[in-house]
Structure 1
Amino acid sequence: MTTATALTPDMEQLIADLTLTPDGLIPAIAQQHDTGEVLMMAWMSPDSIRETLASGRVCYWSRSRKSLWRKGESSGQVQRLVELRVDCDNDCLLLLVDQIGVACHTGRRSCFYTALRNGKTETIADILIDPKTLYGS
């Protein structure tokens, strides 16, 4: 387990400078740090960003549950933060992560498993873990 650390004034300023949606959220793209594989997109709130920076374990905001969503809390498929980047407009985050296991709730490594090729959709990634195994349902 990662030890919690205090946020620096620079971290707090970065959060304060973000351009959030009217709901107080910002999109965040998770990318495997060593391969560049895009894993998923989710939403973050200032509190989830603070928790992520303090703990080193990625925490998102669940729009459906209206609460913090600690990635891997129920599935064990954790994301460890390697680096947080902000785009030029301060309205999108890129999280370079070390993904433990699969990132997608469907049991695939990435949420981006459907491709449009030659005018047709194609599933380009297999299910690696049965979601029933991940979530017990």
Structure 2
Amino acid sequence: MTQAAFLDEVKWNSEGLVPAIAQDARSGRILMMAWMNREALCLTIEKREAVYWSRSRNKLWHKGETSGHQQSVEEIRLDCDGDVIVLQVQQKGGIACHTGRESCFYRVLRDGEWQAADPVLKAPEDIYGA
């Protein structure tokens, strides 16, 4: 299958993006969700490291480029509708979230409130600087 053919099977949204979920390949834990455009997906395949599209910065974002917490990609899956990608990754440093936690999904709904359930493994200022 040519590169264009597999890219054409992805249902990109009106901005040319698709949600991408990073999942720890060993534990199965969902680490984070980000967006990919065609170039990000192609670079992820080429580098075998996660590359996303930052909507806030309007540019490609190589996960870990500032934090050092890259994601080595073991497998890439596309869901049945073709509109969500799952990356099976090895998370370097054990931290995927910019808050210094293992996962971006660290809050749990308890008694009608979102409560932090996972510890900060490393302070964000120690990861990114002041």
TM-score (norm 2): 0.94
Once the two structures are superposed, what CA deviation does each residue of 1:110-136 show, in whole Å capped at 9, x if it has no partner?
000111124332210011011111111
Alignment counterpart, residue 6 of structure 2, candidates 14, 37, 50: 14
Query: What is the aligned partner in structure 2 of residue 106 from structure 1?
Result: 99
Please list every run of 5 or more consecutive structure 2 residues that lacks an aligned counterpart in the other structure.
none
Q: Does 1:39 align with 2:31?
A: yes
**Could you list the runs of 5+ residues in structure 1 that have no partner in the other structure?**
1-7
**1:84 maps onto 2:76 in alignment:** yes
2:105 aligns to what SS in structure 1? coil
How far 1:13 moved relative to its partner? Answer: 2.0
AA paired with 1:130? A
Tell whether 2:110 aligns with 1:117: yes
Task: Tell me the secondary structure at the aligned position of residue 127 of structure 2.
Answer: helix
Deviation sequence 1:67-93 (CA, Å, 0-9, x none): 100000010001000000000010000
Find the aligned partners of 1:93 and 1:34 in 2 and give their Cα distance: 18
Aligned mates of 1:12, 1:136 — CA distance in 2? 40
- Give me the whole-angstrom Cα distance separating, in 2, the residues matched to 1:71 and 1:41: 12
Deviates more, 1:79-88 or 1:12-21: 12-21
Q: Report the secondary structure of 1:134's partner residue.
A: helix
| Aligned mates of 1:121, 1:24 — CA distance in 2 | 32
Aligned residues: 129
Q: Which moved further from structure 2: 116-125 or 67-76?
A: 116-125
Matched, 1:50 2:42: yes
User: Which deviates the most, 11-20 or 25-34?
Assistant: 11-20
User: What is the CA distance between 1:14 and its match in structure 2?
Assistant: 1.8
Task: Name the CA distance, whole Å, in 2 between partners of 1:120 and 1:17.
Answer: 40
